[in-house]
Chain A
Amino acid sequence: MVQSDREKVVISGVGIISALGVGIDALWDAMCEGRTGIKRIERFDPSGFASQIAGELEEDAFKVRKIVPKSHRKATKVMCRDTELAVGAAASCVEDAGIQTAATSEEDPTLNPDRVGCHIGAGLISAELNELAAALVTSKKEDGTFDIAHWGSEGMQNLTPLWLLKYLPNMLACHVTIVHDLRGPSNTITCCEASSGLSIAESRRVIQRGDADACLSGGAEDRVNPLALYRQHCTNRLATSNDSSAVVTPFAQDAQGTVVGEGGGILLIESETSCHNRDGQMWCTIEGIGCKQATGECPLKPDATALTNAIQKALDESGCDASAIDVIVPLGSGVPEFDTVEANALATVFGDRLNEIPMITTIPYTGNCMAGNGAIAVGIAAKALKEQHLPVRLGAEDTVNVQAQAAPSTDATLNYALVVSPSEGGQCVAIVLKRGEA
């Protein structure tokens, strides 16, 4: 079946959480002012790490206990940071979409809970070291070594009973479905930076096969944690300069790498019919999605063929030519190998015109939120289509072949946006969005 024969799917709610605050407007306004959320890490002393800056929320920007119903407050104790971010983004999305759920009203929900799905991408969740170490240290021998026999018989009792449940990647979606009482299909995609985009693809597939009318969809991840930060160091993708104002320079010839962040986005993905029937606001339509796998030299070295094919598939589904695309939101992580692959794939599809299409790059503002990144990118693309505006672009003075150099904000006529993401591990996703009818 070709895409045009299927039920049209739209984005009818946007919730973003990032270093710049909660809500799409917090991030959008900062981007229009050119104000980055990247700064020296405050949550712990990062001076032992080469990369010491990140996209980190202010400590008092967001308290998850305040946004869940009273009945779920106790459960916030077993939420890791990634789950808190997902619950925060979901609350923001539900508010933006103007729908009532079990979390927001005692009246009947706007959408039938059995017909609302939930697809939230997640990463390899890193345990809070203080919590785990406080238990582990009880099994330290006098000579300083760890005593596994003591751990098995006594030490592990110092770990809170529900410890494991806190760190399962599916807990992001599970808490969100409980908070809002969503009983339709629910999945947890774990594909690094491609997780959000693939979750959106899955929500669309579930809606189009008739198993749901709408889905909360996206992803969230916290990388501002010593173990998570260390794991990113292991990939050799992090910049080691700690000048937070200009460290991430996507597509620059001398780009040094990326920085970590915490955040994500949850979008309401809905059938056009459902959105229309409830008089919902439509941000934009999802015209096409392409998902492909790279089989390069190693998981950290993507190849351009798969990403090219993903972009082409998304365009083919959209029924629009590459010339129709007005703005591109790439991963733009500032990691040279990833940027090169993105630029090469885009050049294959867009040819000489690539340099004429403006890009919006989000990672210089938020840091790389991994599984949460794609939803932030789609949310910002939707906002740009709605506002007919391009925010300030942070980056290098010059970029080669793509329009990703530093630039002021400007109004623009934007009908179609392309959101692209390769990932660590090789999954590639491309999404074409079309401006909602004015």
Chain B
Amino acid sequence: MTRVVITGMGWITPLGNDIDSVWKRMVASESGIGKIDRFDASSFPTTIAGQVRNFDWTQYVKDPSKHGHPAMNSQFALGAAKQAWEQAGLHEFDALNADRAGIYLGAGEGVLDFSAHSTIDTHAWDAEDGMIDPVAWAKFASERLEPWGEVEQEPNMPLWHVSKEYGLMGPAFNCLTACAASTQAIGEAASVLKQGDADIMLSGGTHTMLHALGITGFNRLTALSTFDGNPEEASKPFSRDRGGFVMGEGSGMLVLETLEHALARGATPFAEIVGFGSSADAYRITDLHPEGRGPAAAMHGALKQAGINPSSDTPPIGYISAHGTGTQENDSIETMAIKKVFGENAKDIPVSSIKSMMGHLIAAAGSVELITCIMTMQTNTLVPTINLKNPDPELDLDYVPNTSRESDVDICMSNSFGFGGQNNTLVVKRYDD
């Protein structure tokens, strides 16, 4: 059986733009949530988010002119990919077989120019007919919409930019299963390697929906927190008074390799991907299955592939990075599903949500959460669920409330569940030869 290991990691997040500084801030229970200043959100129901700051993508590529006009999601991806690539030592490796170097991303779409679109749509509105005049719309669009801005919104554009930067010509996929995308991408990238179709895969996710239409969409769904106090206290997964998720943005990237390839080039494996489970709720577009059927199936699938018995005498997992969005529904059902899967062991497994600190990175969430799992094993430190000062009596797992703590962790699980019911779980293990 081919073993798949992780040899490089990188992220661009609302808490910072490199592995070590973000990790230190999470260990210190810091929040990256603040007032939105990307656009004027002052009148919106939600005025806060986790925004990436102090990031200049041109510092992360060899020659920015080769990339044209990357959208922000592609910029984040390039930033995270460089860190992962260099941590894996690939910048000093000149024997890469490009045809066997692939990429599998869970990238979201690029940002729509809301200012231009709102102007065009309102100008082209025919009040008499109560609809758009498409002829006028086409004229205004050609005057105001930047062609590259439209092309770069295709969700496969980050894939193009990253593969272009590193000359990756092997298997290439982008998936977009909402909040589950990058966990699914990493799981399937590992599967590509196990099937022998590549030696190395760059994988992860990138996304920003931190724009007027994105916030509008989630506000209308009533999924976003409308907390108006201190922004750093807004994201409250597993709290009794949790009021929805807080938007984040960013990217997480990982280098996955077959163990054989990693060792042959002298790379240091940090962790091994031992389990991946994927399922569909097949229930409703707007709601999770009330018994957590899909999430439980994803966790069971990942454990089965990893050869781990959830009902073993001692807790078989040292840490679960929860999907933990901070919505009433997700946190209740995820807790129920964890208990369903692990039974008596559930209460002894630490579970935390870094969304409490950096918000929800949507398609990229799973990638930064998997990196969190690996850092947990590397540092033997559990990062907390912050803002858990008002526990929900119905939610009774160990959510690592408010402060980090030390713990020997050798195996971690990371959950991601998407709007619409696509669920994915990864199990990673400390690398042991």
| A residues apposed to B, CB below 8 Å | 1-2, 6, 44-49, 75, 78, 113-114, 117-118, 122-124, 129-130, 132-134, 136-137, 139-140, 144-146, 148-153, 156, 159-165, 168-171, 173-175, 177-178, 180-192, 198, 202, 205-206, 208-209, 211, 226-227, 230-231, 233-235, 291-295, 298-300, 305-306, 309, 423-427
User: Across chains A and B, which 8 residue pairs bring their CB atoms closest together, nearest first?
Assistant: A48-B138, A164-B217, A152-B43, A174-B420, A293-B172, A185-B278, A234-B147, A152-B44
A161 and B134 contacting across the interface, CB-CB below 8 Å: no
> Given A156-B216, A299-B160, A162 and B280 touching (CB < 8 A)?
no
Roughly how many angstroms separate A305 CA and B163 CA in the complex, as a whole number? 14
Roughly how many angstroms separate A139 CA and B91 CA in the complex, as a whole number? 51
Contacts of B131 in A (CB 8 A): 130, 133-134
B43 and A149 contacting across the interface, CB-CB below 8 Å: yes
Roughly how many angstroms separate A173 CA and B176 CA in the complex, as a whole number? 11
Chain B, interface size category, equals 35 or more
> Given A187-B175, A198-B173, A44 and B164 touching (CB < 8 A)?
no
> Given A145-B119, A425-B157, A231 and B176 touching (CB < 8 A)?
no
B220 and A178 contacting across the interface, CB-CB below 8 Å: no
Contacts of B102 in A (CB 8 A): 291, 293
Ordered by A's residue number, 6 sampled pairs between the chains whose C-beta atoms are within 8 Å are: A1-B196, A183-B280, A186-B421, A190-B155, A205-B191, A425-B154
Chain A: which residue is nearest B124 at the CB level? A133
Roughly how many angstroms separate A234 CA and B148 CA in the complex, as a whole number? 7
Q: Could you tell me which residues of chain B, from 20 to 51, have a CB within 8 Å of some CB in chain A?
A: 39-45
B222 and A161 contacting across the interface, CB-CB below 8 Å: yes
| B residues apposed to A, CB below 8 Å | 39-45, 68, 99, 102-103, 109, 115, 118-119, 121-125, 127, 130-132, 134-139, 141-142, 145, 147-148, 150-151, 153-157, 159-160, 163-164, 167-178, 184, 188, 191-192, 194-197, 212, 216-222, 278-286, 293-294, 297, 301, 418-422
Roughly how many angstroms separate A114 CA and B326 CA in the complex, as a whole number? 29
A230 and B43 contacting across the interface, CB-CB below 8 Å: no
With beta carbons under 8 angstroms apart, the residue of B115, B121, B154, B197 that contacts A124 is B154
A150 and B43 contacting across the interface, CB-CB below 8 Å: yes
Roughly how many angstroms separate A238 CA and B49 CA in the complex, as a whole number? 39
Roughly how many angstroms separate A114 CA and B280 CA in the complex, as a whole number? 9
Roughly how many angstroms separate A78 CA and B284 CA in the complex, as a whole number? 12
With beta carbons under 8 angstroms apart, the residue of A152, A162, A181, A235 that contacts B286 is A162
* 16 new A-B contacts at CB < 8 Å, known A48-B134, A130-B132, A227-B141: A47-B135, A48-B139, A118-B280, A156-B219, A163-B220, A169-B155, A173-B280, A184-B279, A185-B279, A187-B188, A189-B174, A206-B278, A230-B150, A231-B151, A293-B169, A299-B154
Roughly how many angstroms separate A162 CA and B217 CA in the complex, as a whole number? 8
Chain B: which residue is nearest A210 at the CB level? B305
Chain B: which residue is nearest A191 at the CB level? B156
With beta carbons under 8 angstroms apart, the residue of B138, B218, B219, B419 that contacts A230 is B138
Contacts of A139 in B (CB 8 A): 118, 122
Roughly how many angstroms separate A177 CA and B423 CA in the complex, as a whole number? 13
> Given A75-B285, A137-B125, A423 and B168 touching (CB < 8 A)?
no
B191 and A209 contacting across the interface, CB-CB below 8 Å: yes
Roughly how many angstroms separate A161 CA and B119 CA in the complex, as a whole number? 22
Contacts of A122 in B (CB 8 A): 176
B195 and A161 contacting across the interface, CB-CB below 8 Å: no
Contacts of A230 in B (CB 8 A): 138, 141-142, 145, 150
B134 and A293 contacting across the interface, CB-CB below 8 Å: no
Roughly how many angstroms separate A294 CA and B98 CA in the complex, as a whole number? 11
B163 and A295 contacting across the interface, CB-CB below 8 Å: yes
A136 and B118 contacting across the interface, CB-CB below 8 Å: yes
Contacts of A145 in B (CB 8 A): 119
A148 and B171 contacting across the interface, CB-CB below 8 Å: no
Contacts of B127 in A (CB 8 A): 137
A190 and B174 contacting across the interface, CB-CB below 8 Å: yes
B220 and A148 contacting across the interface, CB-CB below 8 Å: no
Contacts of B159 in A (CB 8 A): 191, 293, 425-427
B125 and A133 contacting across the interface, CB-CB below 8 Å: yes
CB distance from A376 to the nearest CB of B (A): 19
Contacts of A185 in B (CB 8 A): 278-280
Contacts of B279 in A (CB 8 A): 183-186
Roughly how many angstroms separate A293 CA and B281 CA in the complex, as a whole number? 32
Contacts of A183 in B (CB 8 A): 279-282, 293-294, 297
Contacts of A49 in B (CB 8 A): 138
A205 and B192 contacting across the interface, CB-CB below 8 Å: yes
Contacts of B419 in A (CB 8 A): 165, 168, 170
A171 and B137 contacting across the interface, CB-CB below 8 Å: no
Residue in A140, A152, A162, A175 with the greatest tally of chain B CB atoms within 10 Å = A152
Contacts of A299 in B (CB 8 A): 151, 154, 157, 160
B151 and A114 contacting across the interface, CB-CB below 8 Å: no
With beta carbons under 8 angstroms apart, the residue of B41, B121, B216, B280 that contacts A184 is B280
CB distance from A249 to the nearest CB of B (A): 24
Contacts of A188 in B (CB 8 A): 175-177, 422
With beta carbons under 8 angstroms apart, the residue of A160, A162, A169, A292 that contacts B99 is A292
A427 and B221 contacting across the interface, CB-CB below 8 Å: no
Roughly how many angstroms separate A98 CA and B156 CA in the complex, as a whole number? 35
A1 and B169 contacting across the interface, CB-CB below 8 Å: no
CB distance from B432 to the nearest CB of A (A): 23
Roughly how many angstroms separate A160 CA and B212 CA in the complex, as a whole number? 16
Chain B: which residue is nearest A168 at the CB level? B178
Roughly how many angstroms separate A99 CA and B296 CA in the complex, as a whole number? 27
A427 and B173 contacting across the interface, CB-CB below 8 Å: yes
Contacts of A136 in B (CB 8 A): 118, 121-122, 125
Chain B: which residue is nearest A146 at the CB level? B118
Contacts of B42 in A (CB 8 A): 149, 152
Residue in B115, B124, B420 with the greatest tally of chain A CB atoms within 10 Å = B420
> Given A152-B42, A170-B176, A187-B184, A300 and B151 touching (CB < 8 A)?
yes
A170 and B135 contacting across the interface, CB-CB below 8 Å: no
Chain B: which residue is nearest A114 at the CB level? B297
CB distance from B4 to the nearest CB of A (A): 12
Contacts of B135 in A (CB 8 A): 45, 47-48
A424 and B154 contacting across the interface, CB-CB below 8 Å: yes
A134 and B154 contacting across the interface, CB-CB below 8 Å: no
A186 and B217 contacting across the interface, CB-CB below 8 Å: no
Contacts of A132 in B (CB 8 A): 121
With beta carbons under 8 angstroms apart, the residue of B147, B195, B221 that contacts A1 is B195
Roughly how many angstroms separate A139 CA and B134 CA in the complex, as a whole number? 20
Chain B: which residue is nearest A122 at the CB level? B176
CB distance from B274 to the nearest CB of A (A): 14
A123 and B170 contacting across the interface, CB-CB below 8 Å: no
CB distance from A183 to the nearest CB of B (A): 5
Contacts of B301 in A (CB 8 A): 211
Chain A: which residue is nearest B298 at the CB level? A185
> Given A161-B222, A186-B279, A306-B169, A293 and B163 touching (CB < 8 A)?
yes
Contacts of A1 in B (CB 8 A): 195-196
Contacts of B163 in A (CB 8 A): 293, 295, 426
Chain B: which residue is nearest A293 at the CB level? B172
Contacts of B217 in A (CB 8 A): 163-164
Roughly how many angstroms separate A221 CA and B270 CA in the complex, as a whole number? 40
With beta carbons under 8 angstroms apart, the residue of B130, B174, B221 that contacts A134 is B130
With beta carbons under 8 angstroms apart, the residue of A146, A180, A306 that contacts B119 is A146
Chain B: which residue is nearest A292 at the CB level? B169
